[in-house]
Amino acid sequence: MTNAFLGILSLDTAFERIKGDIGNPDTYPFAARIHVVTGADSQVIVQDAPPPPALLAAFVDAARTLEAQGAAAIVSTCGFLITSQDHIARAVNIPVMVSALSLYPMVRATTAGKIGILTASQPALGPNALAAAGIDRDAVAIAGLSHIPVFAETFLARKSQQRSDLDPHQMEQAVVKAALALQTAHPDLTAVILECGNLPPYAPALRRALGLPVFHLADAAAHLMAAQNPASM
């Protein structure tokens, strides 16, 4: 597996994916390859339900294609695919983790306190998504970002309407502000999970501001790759 790479199932988007974003190959210290699933618009995927059947089939086909090309593991750019985690994982013979929400059992095992979740949309992170990730709603505090104009206009609008002028500093300030508000409301927070694949670029700032461990899918991807192909690390 000397030529193995990380396969990335990507939503069909127009915004800039800066370094750190799950959908930017430069985020990783190993080879990564993007497979954009045509028609996987943010507004279709960011829901408390699996994608429509035809679109779910397209994600499965994309995962199989990446596996056939030599992927050692697969992740995705959107944590709301958690409702399809089992379906996609069963379709291939390599490790699949489509959402950072799958990290919840590990994070839960490391702390007795409340776990914060920063998500693209709090309303969409409902009982189906939480159940798919094995998350106890009473054990977490959730903060959504869909009410923040710069976030919603960039990441949650339809592809044709998404902003292309991403200002990382402005976005970082907005994300950190939301996280600090969550911590103020829940001073018993002991860790934070970033559901959204666009949030890892801001993890260092979040760790500094909150003084807490912050977990995201890019770190998990490194563990998946190390387990499958240590020479790539």
The number of domains in the chain is 2
**Are 76 and 151 contained in the same domain?**
no
pLDDT at 233: 40
Q: Is 59 found in the same domain as 150?
A: no
Q: Which pLDDT belongs to residue 232?
A: 43
106 and 81 in a single domain? The answer is no
Q: Which residue has the higher pLDDT, 55 or 165?
A: 55
Query: Does 177 lie in the same domain as 72?
Result: no
Which residue(s) pair with 33 in the sheet? 7
Task: State the DSSP code for 19.
Answer: B
Q: Residues 75, 107: one domain? A: no
Question: Torsions phi, psi of 194, nearest 5?
Answer: -95, 105
pLDDT at 164: 85
Q: Predicted confidence band at 230 (pLDDT cuts at 50, 70, 90)?
A: low
- As a whole-number percent, the residues of the chain with pLDDT over 90 amount to 94
Q: Report the distance separating Cα 148 and Cα 79, nearest Å.
A: 19
Q: Which residue, chain included where needed, has tokens 């990564």?
A: 32
pLDDT for 64 equals: 98
- Across residues 139-153, what is the average pLDDT? 97
Query: Among residues of the chain, what percentage have pLDDT more than 70?
Result: 97
Range of the domain at 110: 101-216
Q: What pLDDT score does 3 carry? A: 80
Please tell me whether residues 107 and 212 are part of one structural domain: yes
Within this chain, do residues 153 and 116 fall inside the same structural domain, yes or no? yes
Same domain, 192 and 142: yes
Burial of 95 (0-12, 13-18, 19+ CB in 10 A): middle
Rounded-to-integer distance, Cα 60 and Cα 58, Å: 5
Q: Is the same domain home to 157 and 56?
A: no
The model's pLDDT over 16-72, given as tens digits with 9 standing for 90+, comes to 999 999 999 999 999 999 999 999 999 999 999 999 999 999 999 999 999 999 999
- The pLDDT value recorded for residue 2 is 56
Average pLDDT for 97-121: 97
9, 77 Cβ separation under 8 angstroms: yes
Residue holding tokens 């995705």?
76
82 and 185 in one domain? Answer: no
Q: pTM for the whole thing?
A: 0.94
- The answer for residues whose C-beta is within 8 angstroms of residue 230's C-beta and 6 or more apart is none
* Domain shared by 80 and 120, yes or no: no
177 and 87 in a common domain: no
Q: What is the rounded distance in angstroms from the CA atom of residue 72 to the CA atom of residue 69?
A: 10
Q: How is residue 192 written in tokens?
A: 């934070």
Domain with residue 161: its CATH number is 3.40.50.1860
Residues 160/14, Cβ–Cβ less than 8 Å: yes
Structure confidence by residue, pLDDT tens digits, 65-105: 999 999 999 999 999 999 999 999 999 999 999 999 999 99
